[in-house]
Amino acid sequence: MKVIREQYLRQLWSKRHNGLVKIITGVRRCGKSYLLGTLFRERLLAEGVDSQHVIEVPLDRKVNIPLRNAIALGEHIAERLVHDGRWNYVFIDEVQLARKVLPKGVDLSRLAPEDREAAYITFYDTLNELRQIEKVDVYVTGSNSRMLSKDIDTNFADRGCQIRVHPFSFAEYCQALDPSDKTSAFADYLIWGGMPLAVAEADDRERAKYLKGLFKEVYEHDIVERHRLREENILSPLIDVIASATGSLSNPHRLVNALGSAMKVKTNDHTVKAYLEYLKDAFLFSEAKRWDVKGKSYFDFPVKYYAEDPGLRNARLDFRDVEPSHMMENVIYNELIRRGCQVDVGVVPIVAVNKKGMQELQFHEIDFVVNRAPGKLYIQSAWRMPTDEKREQELLPLRRSGDFFSRIVVTEGVRPPMKDDAGIVHVGVIPFLLDESILDTALETSR
């Protein structure tokens, strides 16, 4: 199984020779190392780069244990550089394994306590030194235990740029398996998701075991280690609650109540809020804020949380709650993020007459307010609209948004895009996910 992850290759290619460290980030086991060490390397060689000019240091291999030292790592790479006027490409996999080192001759006791940490040489120092060497282009991958978004922002500042990698999209899933029946393939994708090794595994039991193990043995372990959590008993049930409420409105206080009532776990808003940040920073869940479409402002709470991968989410819940409508919404959200969009949840206030004949202000939801310069549009995810009432419920906020941005309703199946009398595009989820021009065209005409 070989999937050419063209989107990420284009990003890497466009950032060559820009003087910055290219930092490949994403949830663990989503294919970062393969992207860099196999796909990007092949692309370089195909374009005429000599293999001697590609210097690879996979720090997770036993043979490279001596290089898990920030100074030794830099010296090793410097010795392998070819100085012939052509570019050298340095790939360091799992760079966070390079521990900080105190240079010889430095006596910490002679330094003020506040200056002692700065005396160490870290892998950030090594990378910064390498990128300043003429004709050296540096690329790294790192695990979420020690290379999170906040670390990159803090330690690289303007010296690095991120390439965010996700699990396989549905299009990549189809590229990997070449299914004859896309409808059946999509049903499987909603269950198993796009983690590369899970897609490659043919046995469902082994696939489920692998996905469950990732959460318990890798992701939870990373977060506990990274943040030195004392209240580990809160993290696991919190993950379960968020996974169960995928795509539903929530806030820290509601989660505290859910933990207390359903799982008898006592905690507080402050702790839950901190743990939510840890989960987002590890790329396991994303947060979509609510946007007042008419008032042009954000609500503080509640927000929605979406899982990075449907298979991981379902495995976490032991595949007990695989609701197609919710999972489709999650997949559409992930696809929009993958395509470089900013995604919010839209809220449209509408004055209506209630059952008592009184006027009242009602708030109707647009699933996704999508921004990608220079365009903006609205997307409604509606698995099915079997009745007039359901159809009106889904279309009303789109019709009453008060502006003229493009509007799309995504439903199950393979229906090609078609506009209704109100100018709303209706399209099946499968062509929407497989044909990027549908979104691109809508954004282009929605400036």
The DSSP string of 242-274 is HHHTTTSEE-HHHHHHHHHHHH-----HHHHHH
Q: How far is residue 364's CA from residue 293's CA, in Å, rounded to a whole number?
A: 10
Best mean pLDDT range from 66-75, 135-144, 158-167 = 66-75
Alpha carbon separation from 165 to 31, 36, 75, 192, 365 (Å, rounded) = 8, 11, 29, 18, 29
DSSP state of 321: -
- Residue 225: the pLDDT is 85
> Which residues, including other chains, have CB under 8 Å from residue 285's CB and lie 6 or more apart?
242, 276, 279, 305, 306, 307, 308
- Residue 153: the pLDDT is 66
Measure the N-to-C terminal CA separation of the chain; round to a whole number of Å: 40
Q: Crossing angle of helices 123-131/70-80, nearest 10°?
A: 20
What is the dihedral angle through the alpha carbons of 184, 188, 190, 192, rounded to the nearest 10 degrees? -170
Is the pLDDT at 413 greater than 90? The verdict is yes
Going by DSSP bridges, is the β-strand pair 418-419/425-428 parallel, antiparallel, or unpaired?
antiparallel
Is the pLDDT at 102 greater than 80? The verdict is yes
Question: What average pLDDT does range 9-13 have in this prediction?
Answer: 97
Is the pLDDT at 189 greater than 90? The verdict is yes
Is the pLDDT at 290 greater than 70? The verdict is yes
Nearest to 380 by CA among 361, 404, 362, 396: 396
Q: Give SS3 for 291.
A: strand
Q: Report angle CA 30, 36, 42 to the nearest 5 degrees.
A: 125
* pLDDT band with cut points at 50, 70 and 90 for residue 386: very high
The residue to which tokens 């760079």 are assigned: 95
Nearest to 439 by CA among 335, 367, 307: 335
Q: What residue spans of 117-268 are helical by DSSP H?
A: 123-131, 149-156, 170-177, 182-192, 196-200, 204-213, 220-227, 232-244, 252-263
Question: What average pLDDT does range 269-284 have in this prediction?
Answer: 93
Question: What average pLDDT does range 109-138 have in this prediction?
Answer: 93
DSSP state of 412: S
Nearest to 311 by CA among 168, 184, 438, 104: 168
Higher pLDDT, 110 or 319: 319
Q: Report angle CA 154, 5, 155 to the nearest 5 degrees.
A: 10
- Residue 263: the pLDDT is 83
* pLDDT band with cut points at 50, 70 and 90 for residue 222: confident
Is the pLDDT at 168 greater than 80? The verdict is yes
Domain map (residue ranges) of the chain: 6-164
Neighbouring C-beta atoms of residue 35, cutoff 10 Å: 22
Is the pLDDT at 121 greater than 90? The verdict is yes
- Residue 146: the pLDDT is 54
Which helix (H) or strand (E) segment holds residue 433: the answer is helix 429-434
- Residue 231: the pLDDT is 73
> What are the residues facing 406 on neighbouring strands?
377
Edge-to-edge, what's the strand order for the sheet holding 303-307? Answer: 249-250, 303-307, 285-288
* pLDDT band with cut points at 50, 70 and 90 for residue 408: very high
* pLDDT band with cut points at 50, 70 and 90 for residue 281: confident
* Half-sphere exposure for 76 (CA within 13 Å, toward CB): 20
* pLDDT band with cut points at 50, 70 and 90 for residue 342: very high
CATH class of the 6-164 domain in this structure: alpha beta
> What are the residues facing 291 on neighbouring strands?
298, 346
Please tell me the pTM assigned to this model.
0.93
- Residue 157: the pLDDT is 74
Question: What average pLDDT does range 120-129 have in this prediction?
Answer: 93
> What are the residues facing 426 on neighbouring strands?
409, 418
Neighbouring C-beta atoms of residue 46, cutoff 10 Å: 8
Cα 285 to chain centroid, rounded: 8
- Residue 389: the pLDDT is 94
The sign one gets for the Cα dihedral 410, 412, 414, 416 is negative
Percentage above 90 pLDDT, the chain: 79
Residue 39 has phi, psi (to 5 degrees) of -70, -45
- Residue 149: the pLDDT is 56
* pLDDT band with cut points at 50, 70 and 90 for residue 264: confident
Q: How far is residue 50's CA from residue 98's CA, in Å, rounded to a whole number?
A: 27
> Which residues, including other chains, have CB under 8 Å from residue 260's CB and lie 6 or more apart?
266, 267
